[in-house]
Structure 1
């Protein structure tokens, strides 16, 4: 059975991006990128909302990867090897390999998918992640907290959802970023 993992880079004040939509403050250095590569290797399928998919699909293109460090090229290979499900009511098609389009987020379908999966699944994006948390689907929450305060923007975690968590791992990176990995002990209320 696969676990559903919510993973994100976040500012110290809890945002995925600032009020203008920028997330340049969370660009990973080699050490953090290596962590994300190792994390993503366990993922068999990634669930995305439209905006997160549009951000991530850059990894399908080789043109910009020429001259990038090995750790970045490795991430592209890992991302391409995973299956992707994009939840969107506005997209008419997807442009990346190993990707399917779902019109709605069906919590029961995600539960069945977890039960039959031999690898972990990830959920990416604030909106889709919030839905997964609200339906009690998230088994693990992985946050890399970056040493930046952005003052507002898109929250990394859903508002109005109570979760009790158990700390599984913490790690400090040389950049000042901190990994916090928690198991979700209970379902959303």
Structure 2
């Protein structure tokens, strides 16, 4: 059965956003960007909350991003090729192709998606990922730990859920970023 993978950038102190709610503290270098693109390409479906979806939708709605380089074009192509499911009670309609809107996260529906998928699924965004972890749906975590202490907000991992993990891969980048891949036991 395909896996549900939670992928996230996080600071060394465990946050996904700085104190102002920004993500710009983690601009990937070419090696990190290529690695993340390959992870994105490995999945056939992305599960997002509204905010993460709106942040990433620019990879389809703003063609100038893809035009910046071969690397950004490759990422945009990978992002656009996947199906997207956005969980939001406030979004009126998606702005990208291959995207459907769900009003509420339903663990049984996601379990069914995993059972019928041809490729892995990625969940992005710490709030949605926390729901999936709590429901026992996440098979792996793919964490990109950046060499920065943010003292920010929005922790990458839930603070009220236990998950026993097994480290199955690590990769160190020249920029100081470390990719840690864990299997959820």
Contact 2:59 2:66 in 1 (8 A): no
1:66-85 alignment, distance < 5 Å: 67-85=67-85
Give a deviation string over 1:98-140, Cα, whole Å, max 9, x none. 0000011000000011011110001111111110011000000
Cα deviation for residue 10 of structure 1 reads 0.5
Cα deviation for residue 67 of structure 1 reads 4.7
RMSD: 1.0
Determine helix, strand or coil for the equivalent of 2:25.
helix
Cα deviation for residue 62 of structure 1 reads 4.3
Cα deviation for residue 66 of structure 1 reads 5.8
Q: Which residue of 1 aligns with 2:40?
A: 40
CA distance in 2, matches of 1:62, 1:77: 12
Cα deviation for residue 52 of structure 1 reads 0.4
1:1-40 alignment, distance < 5 Å: 1-40=1-40
Cα deviation for residue 152 of structure 1 reads 2.4
Q: Say whether residues 1:122 and 2:122 are aligned partners.
A: yes
Q: Which residue of 2 aligns with 1:111?
A: 111
Cα deviation for residue 93 of structure 1 reads 0.6
Aligned length: 185
Q: Say whether residues 1:165 and 2:172 are aligned partners.
A: no
Q: Which runs of no fewer than 5 residues in structure 1 stay unpaired?
A: none
Q: Say whether residues 1:138 and 2:138 are aligned partners.
A: yes
* TM-score for both structures, normalised by structure 2: 0.97
CA distance in 1, matches of 2:21, 2:48: 17
CA distance in 2, matches of 1:7, 1:68: 24
Contact 2:167 2:182 in 1 (8 A): yes
TM-aligned CA distance change 1:67 to 1:86, over 3 Å = closer
CA distance in 1, matches of 2:33, 2:156: 19
Determine helix, strand or coil for the equivalent of 2:57.
helix
Q: Which runs of no fewer than 5 residues in structure 2 stay unpaired?
A: none
* TM-score for both structures, normalised by structure 1: 0.95
CA distance in 1, matches of 2:154, 2:104: 22
Determine helix, strand or coil for the equivalent of 1:141.
strand
Q: Which residue of 2 aligns with 1:149?
A: 149
